[in-house]
Each structure stands twice: as C-alpha cells, then as structure tokens.
Structure 1
C-alpha cells in the first residue's frame, strides 16, 4: 500500500526533497543540494537517493507535492515538470503549496509566542523588488502574494501597529529602509524547504485539494520577460 507524500521545493537556489507519512504526518527523511542551477541535473537523483536511503521505492509514494511559487521561473518549471511526470506515471494525485505560505509556516512553527507576529517572507526579484506576502501564525493570509517595490513606505499600514518578522532572500534589501521602525524584525538564513511544503501539503491532501496533472502551471506571479539574442555578424 502506498503510504508516502513526496515533496519538492525548487523555487530557490536550494533544491530540496522530503518524504512524509501520509497517515501520521511524520517526516521520513529530507535531502537538499545548494548548488546554483543544479535542479535540472540533480532533482531526479535526489529523489532516488532519498527513497533508497529510507528503504522505500516510488511505488510507496501516494502523492507528490510541489512548491507552487512565486520564485525562480526556471526552478519552478523544473519542479512542476518532475512532479507532473511522477504523478502521471504513478497515477497519483498532485498537490501544490504556496512558496511564501510555506516559508511563513516554517518560521512560525519555530517562533516563541508566534501569535505576537505577522510573518512576511520576501523573495528576491530584480533590483529593489521582491515577491512578498503577509501571514498570521495560523497561516491566514493578511496580504496575498504580490510584487513589491521597496521603499520607506512599503507595508507602512501593516507596520503601523503590528510586529512583523521579515525573512527570505529578499528581506535584506528592505532592512535598511525600516531600520528605525520598532515593529520590524528580521531573520537571516531562512530558505525554502521541502519539509514545510510537505507539512502544508498533508493538510491539502486530507482536504483533497488536488491539482490537474495535465494542466497545472506554477504561480509565477509576474510574466516572464525574455529577449531574443542578436544575430552574430
């Protein structure tokens, strides 16, 4: 009987894979690789190694969860393609979890007195822009994922009377702009993890919030701009 949830997190430079038991939610194992542009060549290997190291096979996987975005366009596409391919081949359901909500859950779960904060993950975009959202400790959405152009007035309404924790690889750009605000606190070193994706996906699985294997696309949040290289003379 298939008993495992396989979770993939590829929205950032960290390529992360995790396994949970579907019935108990217990973490079986997790592995990750921190190499730039390694997802396409290493994701399948990480999945195979994790299954082997935990004495499981793909036939034990009952569902696959993937980080939904926003984040790296290429990384999200690689994760989505891998998840959809596994779900199609194994005839199992697909789940998708917001990258920002997963990050907020990750931090709230280890924060002392978590209810005293709102949680604002920030993912680096171009220049002074980030992808961000604001969440309560229970995961309730205060501000839906949105691209934010950072300046001294960013999130001024939320910071007026509420303590916010900022984290993620885009938060460092915001810190100098609100250095004098006593309601703004920052955490360094917080990166997306397949463990948190799996924790939220377990809840979605129980609610049967499955995605279409044929038509699912990641939540990029913004259109991707590409340029055509000039012809060499």
Structure 2
C-alpha cells in the first residue's frame, strides 16, 4: 500500500492532497490573489493528515509540483516537501505542474494545452494528446495569433491565461475550458502513484524547482 502526500504550490492555488494507491482520499486547497502559501501550506498538511487519520510515519513518499510557475510558490512547496522527506527518510517525487493542470481536462480527442501566465503575453505551455501523452515539451513563449496555428484538431486550453489568450487565439478549433484555472494536488494522485511504482524519484538534497525564469529576450526599441 502506498500513502503519498501531494503538494502543489506553483500558482496562486495552495493545494494539498493525501492519496492511497493513486486515489485521492482528501484534498484541501485555496486560491488567493495574495499568495497565502506561507501561512496556509503547513496548516493544510497538518489538517489533512489528521482528518485522514494518517500519521506522518505511515507516508511512503512526498510528491511536489516542480513547476514551472511562481518562484515564491515553488520555493515554499519544494522546501516543505524536502523537509518532510529528510525528516521521514522517504522518497521525493517531482510532478510536472503543466501535466497536473492538463489532467483536469477530460476530453475524448484533440489536444490539451495547459498555459500558465508568466507576464504580459508570455506563458508557460506544453502540448498533450487526449490521453495525456506529451506531444511537445514545456516551452516559455509569447502567444500571438500564429501560436498553435498548425494544429487542425480541436485544441483545449486550460490554465489562468484564458482572458489574455482569447484576444489572440481565435481559431474556430480553439476551445478555452475557463473553469480549469489552476493545477490541483487532487490531480497529482495518479501521476505520483505511477511514478512511485516505477521508482521515478529525485534526489532530495539536490532537487530544485523548474523555475523557467527570464526565458525571453525582448526586442530592443528603435534608437
């Protein structure tokens, strides 16, 4: 039996879930504009463990969203996950934040493109098929009317970029699932269990979040 604590803090959503054999038992989360992760994360962990009736010594692994995303949010989540792994001497599992986000889109066909806001018209994105197989890895890009134009299938966009994305991504086959805004630890349960079974873990001492910071050189203005 595996009991995995899943932590996702890459965005405004501070999210924690306890999972048994890949099934979410309990999830607690809150998305606030002010990024309350520092105040809420450890409280949520304590509360969810108590409510689930699970002791920390029963955990078999900790899974954490590795990014890309908010620098501060990632630091808080990864620091907490690494601290628990050190204290409990259990493995650390790193989960692609964009995969977690894409997992919320339950579609039969087409492409799923999770996008997280970076700044201005810049986003972090990845392309998955309907079975959540990666078709293009994580990129940081400036979205425009030419973005993803070569995809003829229905494209389902998820993430917190709907408002600005809809201004330029206007092809008829583009669909914004606006209700899916942030990654959630609830969706990490199956992914982390699959990785745990394969012993797909990371080195607790040396693991760092995938910040993807300062990715784009801007065009200089005319002199």
Same topology, TM > 0.5: yes
Q: In structure 2, what is the equivalent of residue 33 of structure 1?
A: 30
Q: In structure 2, what is the equivalent of residue 163 of structure 1?
A: 154
Q: Which moved more, 1:124-133 or 1:165-174?
A: 165-174
Gaps of at least 5 residues in structure 2 are: 216-223
Q: Which residues of 2 match residues 48-63 of structure 1 at below 5 A?
A: 48-63=46-61
- 1:223–1:151 CA distance, 2 compared to 1 (3 A): closer
Q: Which residues of 2 match residues 184-199 of structure 1 at below 5 A?
A: 184-190=174-180, 191-199=182-190
The CA RMSD over aligned residues, in Å, is 1.6
Q: 1:87 aligns with which of 78, 85, 88?
A: 85
Q: Distance in 1 between matches of 2:116 and 2:84?
A: 27
Q: In structure 1, what is the equivalent of residue 141 of structure 2?
A: 148
Matched-pair contact (CA < 8 Å) for 1:123–1:171: no
Q: Which moved more, 1:76-85 or 1:167-176?
A: 167-176
Matched-pair contact (CA < 8 Å) for 2:23–2:190: no
Q: In structure 1, what is the equivalent of residue 113 of structure 2?
A: 120
Q: Distance in 2 between matches of 1:221 and 1:139?
A: 22
Q: Distance in 1 between matches of 2:11 and 2:199?
A: 27
Gaps of at least 5 residues in structure 1 are: 225-233
Higher helix proportion, which one? Answer: 1
Q: Distance in 1 between matches of 2:130 and 2:212?
A: 23
User: Tell me, what secondary structure is at the counterpart of 2:138?
Assistant: strand
CA shift, 1:145, in A, is 0.8
Describe the superposition over 1:54-80 as per-residue Cα deviations: whole angstroms up to 9, x where unpaired: 112211211000001111111011111
CA shift, 1:178, in A, is 2.7
Q: Distance in 1 between matches of 2:116 and 2:162?
A: 7
Q: Which residues of 2 match residues 1-233 of structure 1 at below 5 A?
A: 3-22=2-21, 25-35=22-32, 36-108=34-106, 111=107, 114=108, 116-158=109-151, 161-179=152-170, 181-190=171-180, 191-223=182-214
What number of residue pairs does the alignment pair up? 214
Q: Distance in 2 between matches of 1:100 and 1:119?
A: 10
Matched-pair contact (CA < 8 Å) for 1:125–1:170: no
Describe the superposition over 1:135-155 as per-residue Cα deviations: whole angstroms up to 9, x where unpaired: 012221112111110111111
TM-score by length of 2: 0.91
CA shift, 1:21, in A, is 0.7
